Structure 1
Amino acid sequence: MSETSGFLARPPLGGGDGERLAWRRVTGAAPTVVWLGGYRSDMSGTKAEALADWATAKGRGYLRFDYFGHGESSGDFLQGTITRWREDALAVFDELTEGPLVLVGSSMGGWISCLAAMARPERIAALVLVAPAPDFTSKLMPLSIPPDALEEIRRAGVWLQPSQYGDPNPITLALLEDGARWSILDSAVPIAAPVRILQGGEDPDVPWRHALELAQAIKSQDVVFTLIKDGDHRLSRPQDLQRLVAAVSEVTE
């Protein structure tokens, strides 16, 4: 089956015209697999494309989208927050899908997947999380922000953090303050669906112990944590993509 694409209208932030979320969809059998990307990534990344190829070949329903301020979607990235991106995911679920869902979340998308699963538990068949980064705005980001940069964030509202992946990462005061509203690791995570977690042992952005903390916090007894000892944060090598497709295949059958 071929992939179709479109835009989902969303209410504006701060006045002005409404925003638009870009999406791509493969129509197929349930449960529908939904890709939730990471911070500053988009739906055309290697892992998202690999799942699109798999879904097309298997006749499986598959949906991917770009959050507000990401990829092909409209909006100013600097206005983005966990609240907004969580709302984007729920809008996509509610307006573009029917029936059970398998959420596949990478990095920040792992946190958004958990938040969305907690908000729509009746829709969730399973989760597959790649280097999940729950609570990263309070537990991971502050560790990489030097004191002078923290002062700049407080004064100017944003700091451009150097990134090994290309352009600097803008870190805003709004993102840090809003993220605290959605912390999930300080108590049990009420997700009952099966969960598969793939985590690189050489991940410089999300330590494997952080992802393991999430695995231990999730209430479901059907949780499998896979440590890929030589894996990095992206887990986009051919062997990593095979592991991802295998995990998604397992929980959709």
Structure 2
Amino acid sequence: MTQPEFLDGPGGRRLAYHRSPGRGPWVVFLGGLKSDMEGTKALHLEAWSKDQGRAFLRFDYSGHGQSSERFEDGCIGDWAADTRAVVEALTDGPILPVGSSMGGWQALLLARAVPDRLAGLVTIAAAPDFTEDSYWAGFSEAQRTQIMQEGRVELPSDYMEPYVITRQMIEDGRKNLVLRDPLDLPCPVRCLQGTADTAVSTDTALRLLDHATCPNMQLTLVKDADHRFSDGPCLGLIETAVTEVLALAEET
């Protein structure tokens, strides 16, 4: 594993990244909650981009991977600020964010923040507004009381150790919701979603498709694919989606 470089980010947070120059638009991988930039999808897309001569960027949000801070001290708004800081400091010209799970939410926040820089957008099991629609909505009364009084609650995960969900994450998430207000995506968008995903439902994918205003947006449902979306056929679908969006961007 090669050593990352670091960017001094917002609030003194030290953000780890790997940057591969090439021709634009920049493909920027945005990972999921508690994931890092060494995951299968990030590394596969980096290798693909290098093979294609494409500019590529992967990084760790604060509290994730090799970046500074503790996970439980972070929230959606912090990671959105990290994303924007990395993109603004390390890329130029058009970008194509590829957001996985929570990274899909981050990609939508980035699209809202810098719409003029978007060449396109690809999401993989995107989880917009999950702090409200999955966590808070799914809490029992006892869990809601615990998080309000004690500031945290632990939730089991199918993929790793339990998630520590904080009151700060819930309250900050409400400031960053994207499915309540108009969501304009002025570029080609491709969304990928597995039907066997136990973390993000197909209903969420359909809700995003229905909610967004977009001139060219497609959703691909993949039978029996799970939340990881990282086996050979799924990685091939990610390549296809990125290739298609890049081709559309280059036509304009």
TM normalised by structure 1 equals 0.94
The structure 1 residue matched to 2:112, chosen from 107, 118, 128, is: 118
Question: How many residues are paired up?
Answer: 246
The structure 1 residue matched to 2:124, chosen from 127, 130, 150, is: 130
2:230 counterpart SS class = coil
Match of 1:10 in 2: 9
Correspondences of 1:1-253 after superposition (within 5 Å): 5-12=4-11, 18-253=12-247
Contact 2:10 2:85 in 1 (8 A): no
Contact 2:84 2:110 in 1 (8 A): yes
Deviation for aligned residue 1:199: 0.4
2:8 partner amino acid:
A
Q: Distance in 2 between matches of 1:220 and 1:59?
A: 28
Deviation for aligned residue 1:35: 0.4
Unaligned runs of 5+ in 2: 248-252
1:10 partner amino acid:
G
1:116 counterpart SS class = helix
Contact 1:132 1:206 in 2 (8 A): yes
Contact 1:124 1:193 in 2 (8 A): yes
2:198 counterpart SS class = coil
Q: Distance in 2 between matches of 1:200 and 1:134?
A: 16
More strand as a share of residues: 1
Contact 1:22 1:73 in 2 (8 A): yes
1:8 partner amino acid:
L
Deviation for aligned residue 1:4: 8.0
2:17 counterpart SS class = strand
1:224 counterpart SS class = strand
1:235 counterpart SS class = coil
Q: Distance in 2 between matches of 1:151 and 1:225?
A: 37
Aligned-residue CA RMSD (Å): 1.3
Moved over 4 A (4+): none
Contact 1:4 1:25 in 2 (8 A): no
Deviation for aligned residue 1:135: 0.6
Deviation for aligned residue 1:5: 3.5
Q: Distance in 1 between matches of 2:59 and 2:127?
A: 19
